[in-house]
Amino acid sequence: MFPIEKYHFASSAEDAVQALAADEKAKIIAGGTDVLVRLHGGNSDYGRLVDINGLSELKEIKIDGEGNILIGALATFTEIMEHEAIKGHVPVIAESLATIGGPQVRNSGTMGGNICNGAVSADSACAALIHEFDLIIEGPEGERTESINGFHTGPGRTILQKGDLLKYFCVRPVNYEGFSASYYKYAMRGAMDIATIGCGAAVKMKSDIIETLKLAFTVAAPTPIRCRNAEKAIENKKLTEETLQTMVDALEEDVKPRDSWRASKDFRLHLIRTLAKKVTRQAVENQGGMG
Amino acid sequence: MQSMNIKLTINTRKYEMDVDVRKSLMDLLRELGYTSVKHGCGVGECGACTVLVDDIPIDSCLYLATWANNTAIRTTEGECRDGKLSAVQDAYVEEGAVQCGFCTPGLIMTTTSFLEKNKGKDLSREEIKTGHAGNLCRCTGYQTIINAVETASKK
């Protein structure tokens, strides 16, 4: 038995928000692949749960009339990866989610949980950052929209406040139309592993000039990050070994990797430099440009 | 502690019962006698507790029993019909893909859903490995397991 002290099965988004706002220590449970692991380990921070699995409207994945791609917070990794709208318009999301755990974990876990638990290594975070996701949140004061930019505030921490419930992600056309993207997860094993470093890039080309680059990393700083200095360094330039090197030199200002038992700071820096080039080149290649 | 009333089908049998909200689906299934569902790591790494919920493989150790409300669960016991093994079970026997046997029921369910999902496709050994990445065999009998999946896919 899991050491659950208090359990509320939410009947609606409003009901979930009310239950979360009424209990300082309440935590949301969605797919359970993080929360139940922590409970299994006896972590009492997760003893008071608001279960949102009854909110079937949060499972939806669709494109609205304005071309916004909406991904429900409760949609599982597998449901997102296999959805035609995702594969067709934002394939880097599918590519990223395919690197998570194994089939069983992807059949239960959700992108809502992957982003909201604030994990520094979240495999969906690079895709969320380079496609500049909006997060539609229901809170005690009603519905509001937050950007993924600045959403993560520290390891395991986000801007979410007491009573907040993520309902869905929104990818606006301006953030995916004309872009091609790529993701690479460096890990010690081919599956069932946590990223040592994850890197995502999205590019928009104007003939052979990189008009826009969006570059993001996981595990390269205390939160998943966008690399604005590196992006500026290569914008409006052609893709060459020299411009890639200029980008990588600027990258040092953006990242702040650390030593841990998984990998040393030096090794992580090496991975960051290598992957920045590899993934940017692949993103350009995916647009049909020279690789 | 709180309980919830749930209705579910396990293999061919229908159930309605009150379950403790703290219970995992794995614990519920084992208590009901479906002991093919193994308690391995308890944290979603080994896949020994894999069952199909509405034909989708999940780790039943990381799944609250209450979430199984209004679903159909399949375990290895139910794959054997009228004393006859399923094509997947048969292939595991044929290829000798069983050593200590602890991981086998979970693997059988993963293979069953993997082949249902990829019906008619010509599967590479690499694709088979990726599709079975959520199941560990501590005896490391992976070659014969992959052979069994290949054999079953041709049945």
Chain A residue numbers with beta carbons less than 8 Å from the beta carbon of B67 are 32, 53
Residue in A with minimal Cα distance to B4:
A9
Mean pLDDT of chain A: 96
3-state helix, strand, coil split of chain B in percent (to 5) is 40, 20, 40
Other Cβ atoms less than 10 A from the Cβ of A125: the count is: 30
Nearest to A191 among B1, B23, B133 (CB): B133
Chain A residue numbers with beta carbons less than 8 Å from the beta carbon of B114 are 103
Smallest Cα distance from B144 to chain A, Å: 20
CB contact under 8 A, B130 and A191: yes
- CA dihedral of B63, B69, B72, B73, whole degrees rounded to 10: 30
Residue A142 near residue A108, CB atoms below 8 Å: no
pLDDT score recorded for residue A289: 57
Rg of chain A over all Cα atoms, to the nearest angstrom: 19
β-sheet bridge partners, residue A27: A49
pLDDT score recorded for residue A291: 43
CB contact under 8 A, A102 and B56: no
- Using CA atoms, how far residue B32 sits from B52, B129, B154, in Å, is 16, 32, 34
Closest residue by Cα to residue A167 from A116, A229, A102, A222: A116
Nearest to B134 among A7, A32, A105 (CB): A105
pLDDT range class, residue B155, cuts 50, 70, 90: confident
**Is the ipTM here above 0.95?**
yes
Token pair 């009947």 is found at: A11
With both helix axes pointing from N to C terminus, report the angle between B104-117 and B87-94 in degrees, rounded to the nearest 10: 120
CB contact under 8 A, A36 and B130: no
pLDDT tens digits, one per residue of B41-53: 999 999 999 999 9
Smallest Cα distance from A3 to chain B, Å: 7
Mean pLDDT of chain B: 97
pLDDT score recorded for residue A288: 78
Smallest Cα distance from B3 to chain A, Å: 10
**Exposed / middle / buried, residue A115 (Cβ in 10 Å: 0-12, 13-18, 19+):** buried
Chain B residue numbers with beta carbons less than 8 Å from the beta carbon of A52 are none
pLDDT score recorded for residue A275: 98
Distance, CA of A7 to CA of A253 (rounded, Å): 45
pLDDT along chain A (291 residues), means of 10: 97 98 97 98 95 97 98 98 97 98 98 97 98 98 98 98 97 98 95 94 96 98 98 97 97 94 94 98 85 43
CB contact under 8 A, A104 and B45: no
pLDDT range class, residue B1, cuts 50, 70, 90: confident
* Residue B54 scores a pLDDT above 90: yes
Residue in A with minimal Cα distance to B20:
A1
- For A217, the token pair is 């990393």
CB contact under 8 A, B45 and A1: no
Q: What is the largest CA-CA distance in chain B?
A: 50
Residue A165 near residue A136, CB atoms below 8 Å: no
CB contact under 8 A, A1 and B59: no
pLDDT score recorded for residue A152: 98
Q: Cα(first)–Cα(last) distance of chain B, in Å?
A: 48
Strands A134-139 and A165-171 come out as antiparallel
Interface test with B, best of A38, A104, A189, A194 (most B CBs within 10 A): A104
Is residue A54 less than 8 Å (CB to CB) from chain B?
Answer: no
pLDDT tens digits, one per residue of A186-196: 999 988 999 99
How many residues make up chain A in this entry?
A: 291
Interface test with A, best of B20, B37, B41, B62 (most A CBs within 10 A): B62
Helix (H, G, I), strand (E, B) or coil at A202: strand
pLDDT tens digits, one per residue of A54-108: 999 999 999 999 999 999 999 999 999 999 999 999 999 999 999 999 999 999 9
Distance, CA of B105 to CA of A180 (rounded, Å): 42
CB contact under 8 A, A7 and B2: yes
The whole-number average pLDDT for the span B63-78 is 98
**Residues of chain B contacting A, Cβ within 8 Å:** 1-2, 4, 20-24, 27, 42-45, 47, 50, 56-59, 61-64, 66-67, 110, 114, 130-135
Strands B71-74 and B3-10 come out as parallel
CB contact under 8 A, A101 and B134: yes
pLDDT tens digits, one per residue of B104-122: 999 999 999 999 999 999 9
- For A125, the token pair is 């975070």
Chain A residue numbers with beta carbons less than 8 Å from the beta carbon of B59 are 104-105, 108
pLDDT score recorded for residue B148: 98
Token pair 């749960």 is found at: A49
CB contact under 8 A, B59 and A192: no
Backbone angles phi, psi at B74, to 5 degrees: -120, 130
Residue in A with minimal Cα distance to B134:
A102
Helix (H, G, I), strand (E, B) or coil at A237: strand
| Residue A189 per-residue DSSP state | S
